[in-house]
Amino acid sequence: MERFLEVLDSASGPLWHGFLLTVGISGAAVVLGTILGLVIGLMLTYGGRIAALPFRGFVDIVRGTPVLVLILASYYMPAGLGISPGPIEAGVLALTIFCASHIGETLRGALNAIPAGQTDAARAIGLTFPQMLAYVLVPQALRQIAPNFVNTAVEIVKASSLLSAIGVGELLLTTQEVIGRTFMTMEFYALVGALYLVINLTISAGGGWVERRFQNQ
**pLDDT the model gives residue 214:** 61
Contacts for 102 with CB less than 8 Å, ≥ 6 apart: 33, 37, 63, 148, 152, 155
pLDDT above 90: percentage of residues in the chain: 48
Could you tell me the sign of the dihedral formed by the alpha carbons of 196, 201, 202, 206, in that order? Answer: positive
Per-residue pLDDT at 31 exceeds 80: yes
Per-residue pLDDT at 61 exceeds 90: yes
**pLDDT the model gives residue 215:** 62
CB 175 within 8 A of CB 189: yes
Per-residue pLDDT band for 11 (boundaries 50, 70, 90) equals confident
The CA–CA distances, whole Å, from 107 to 30, 56, 62, 73 equal 15, 13, 16, 26
**Which pTM does this prediction carry?**
0.89
CATH code reported for the domain at 2-216: 1.10.3720.10
**pLDDT the model gives residue 148:** 87
DSSP state of 137: I
Which of 40-44, 80-84, 144-148, 180-184 has the least mean pLDDT?
80-84
**pLDDT the model gives residue 126:** 81
In 77-167, alpha helices (H): 87-113, 116-124, 129-132, 138-159
The CA–CA distances, whole Å, from 91 to 59, 71, 100 equal 19, 6, 14
Per-residue pLDDT at 2 exceeds 80: no
Provide the 3-class DSSP secondary structure of residue 212: helix
More confident residue, 9 or 91: 91
**pLDDT the model gives residue 36:** 96
| CA gap 157, 153 in Å, rounded | 6
Between vectors from CA 22 to CA 15 and to CA 81, what angle results, nearest 5°? 125
Give 91-144 pLDDT, tens digit per residue: 999 999 999 999 999 999 988 888 877 877 878 888 887 888 888 888 888 788
**pLDDT the model gives residue 179:** 87
pLDDT above 70: percentage of residues in the chain: 96
Which of 13-22, 160-169, 204-213 has the least mean pLDDT?
204-213
User: Residue 30: phi, psi to the nearest 5?
Assistant: -65, -45
Helices 2-46, 185-216: axis angle to 10 degrees equals 40
